[in-house]
Amino acid sequence: MSDRPILVTGGAGQLASALAAASRTVHRVGRPDFDFDRPESIDAAFHAANPSLVINAAAYTAVDAAESDADAAYRANRDGPARLAALCAAAGVPLIHVSTDYVYDGAKGAPYTEDDAVSPTGVYGASKLAGEQAILASGVRAIVLRTSWVHYHTGKNFVRTMLTAGKIRDRLTVVADQQGCPTAAADLADAILILTARLRDGWRAEYAGVFHAAGSGDTTWHGLACAVFEDAAAQGWKVPRVDPITTADWPTAAKRPADSRLDCSRLDRVFGVRLPHWRVGLRRTTGAIFAGGDI
């Protein structure tokens, strides 16, 4: 790889922001200059950047809204990434594409490996899976990273939502029967940058395909919320009571996977990369939030 920039899509999103904070070689693009709803903008941004590598962190992530706006979800999660992959393939540029645990139905009862069958339960997961498939069929040198429960000190995410709600309410109810692997965007960014360093030494056949990249260990949404408020209490915050509820108690338009834990051992085996424990990653996010004082 040359000294040309790494093009990161997703603008001011959590992962794009974390990547930009961690590396000066990153060139971020986002709306309106890069918009999956305007295919011509994809081409223009790609050619203007002349990248050595592309990290696609842009996506339609409104899980419930996707159920009533499938066209928009598929434009952003399938059609746009497919066009980006075609550009990368034509230019001989590798593509790292970020996907999701929502490609699984959550019925396995154990952490998913990359070889497990996919079976998304909603439009969001189905559109992200379609994007993976389009990229892998394009001929581009692609690494697809499935991650989960991402949080950062800026943007819209569960951690910030809990802290905001906890400031104004004495009691919260949080779903306790969905399991997953919380992932700090900063930890994911660090892992991706290790992958980009490997790619500078050249592409290898074993790099191609799907990898899981999430925080180590697992918990429930309720467990994550309790951990958030443990960190807040350590900062002297008055924290709310957090009561567990079931998924049935909190109906949503889209069905969430009940158990989307990810086995990330392939990433470790191929690249020597394992993300920190989710609790360590959470402290990284909450520490930055408390330091910034913007909640």
Residue with tokens 């306790």: 176
**166 with 240: CB under 8 angstroms?**
yes
The token pair at 234 is 């350590």
Q: For residue 58, give both structure tokens.
A: 């842009």
Q: Tokens 């200059």 correspond to what residue?
A: 33
**First and final C-alpha spacing in the chain:** 41
Contacts of 45 (CB under 8 A, 6+ apart): 7, 9, 29, 33, 34
Q: CB–CB of 159/290 below 8 Å? A: no
- Determine the distance from the C-alpha atom of residue 274 to the mean position of all C-alpha atoms in its chain, rounded to a whole number: 15
Q: Measured over all CA atoms, what is the biggest interatomic distance in the chain, rounded to whole angstroms? A: 56
d(CA 179, CA 292): 30
Q: Pick the catalytic residue: 60, 102, 124, 207?
A: 124
In terms of residues, how long is the chain? 295
From the list 293, 167, 284, the residue with the least C-alpha distance to 237 is: 167
**Closest to 281 (Cα-Cα) out of 24, 12, 18:** 18
Determine whether 124 is an active site residue.
Answer: yes
CA 164 to centroid of chain Cα atoms? 22
d(CA 135, CA 144): 9
DSSP assignment letter at 143: E
Query: Rounded to whole angstroms, what are the CA distances from 194 to 82, 133, 198, 226, 268?
Result: 25, 24, 6, 31, 11
Task: Tell me which residues are annotated as active site.
Answer: 124
